[in-house]
């Protein structure tokens, strides 16, 4: 098989995993089901991923996404993120945070997927910190941690309540938090503008 063919097969397997693991749970889905849903043999699956743990790790890594650069003011970027959460909560396939779900299901702090989940959360917190710093808040790191807690809390509340408006409530809380920290919402970035081509890896919501 050509390199392109191998890449296509890998993507086919991981796309299947993404759908099954997220919608039905990592523990509930075995490699037999993944192979059958992907339309391949179990042997072929193992040629690409020798164990289920490797498959889980690859699925989690695939859930990492890049944040596209934006020319919007930093305050709008932060508040717009919570708008995005509300849209996600309202989507038909919303099943909570895939990273939290995986860590909870696996129950193995040393599993490679747990490290990926932590990285995803930290990169989102770092993104909040950078935007908060551009707003000139006094404690960008502390504000970023609080925004990250708002994010995770909104995801959990939306899942339990079945209420997408939890994203809107989190946005209002984020606005209050930023103003209390001294941010002037709507203000332009402070400091040098980031090159448009620069991207940071982050978690898909």
What is the C-alpha to C-alpha distance for residues 52 and 63, in angstroms, rounded to an integer? 17
Could you give the C-alpha distances from 92 to 24, 29, 60, 89, 164, in angstroms and in order?
A: 14, 20, 21, 8, 11
- Domains of the chain listed by start with CATH number: 3-62 (1.10.10.60), 65-203 (1.10.357.10)
Residue 192 has pLDDT above 90, yes or no: no
Which residues fall within 8 angstroms of residue 154, CB to CB, at 6 or more apart?
82, 85, 89, 166, 167, 169, 170
Q: What average pLDDT does the segment 117-132 reach?
A: 96
Question: 71: closest CA among 197, 167, 181?
Answer: 197
Per-residue pLDDT tens for 137-173? 989 999 999 999 999 999 999 999 999 999 999 999 9
């Amino acid at each position: 098989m050509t390199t392109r063919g191998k890449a296509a097969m890998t993507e086919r397997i991981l796309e299947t995993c993404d759908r099954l693991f997220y919608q039905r749970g990592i523990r509930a889905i075995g490699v037999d089901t993944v192979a059958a849903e992907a339309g391949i043999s179990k042997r072929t699956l193992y040629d690409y991923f020798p164990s289920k743990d490797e498959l889980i790790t690859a699925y989690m890594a695939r859930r990492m996404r890049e944040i596209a650069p934006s020319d919007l003011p930093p305050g709008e970027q932060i508040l717009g993120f919570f708008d995005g959460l509300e849209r996600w909560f309202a989507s038909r396939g919303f099943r909570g945070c895939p990273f939290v779900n995986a860590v909870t299901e696996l129950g193995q702090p040393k599993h490679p997927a747990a490290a990926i989940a932590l990285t995803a959360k930290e990169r989102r917190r770092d993104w909040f910190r950078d935007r908060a710093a551009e707003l000139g808040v006094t404690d960008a790191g502390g504000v970023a941690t609080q925004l990250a807690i708002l994010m995770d809390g909104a995801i959990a509340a939306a899942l339990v309540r079945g209420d997408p408006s939890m994203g809107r409530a989190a946005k209002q809380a984020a606005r209050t938090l930023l103003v209390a920290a001294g941010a002037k919402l709507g203000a332009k970035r402070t400091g040098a503008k980031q090159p448009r081509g620069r991207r940071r890896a982050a978690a898909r919501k």
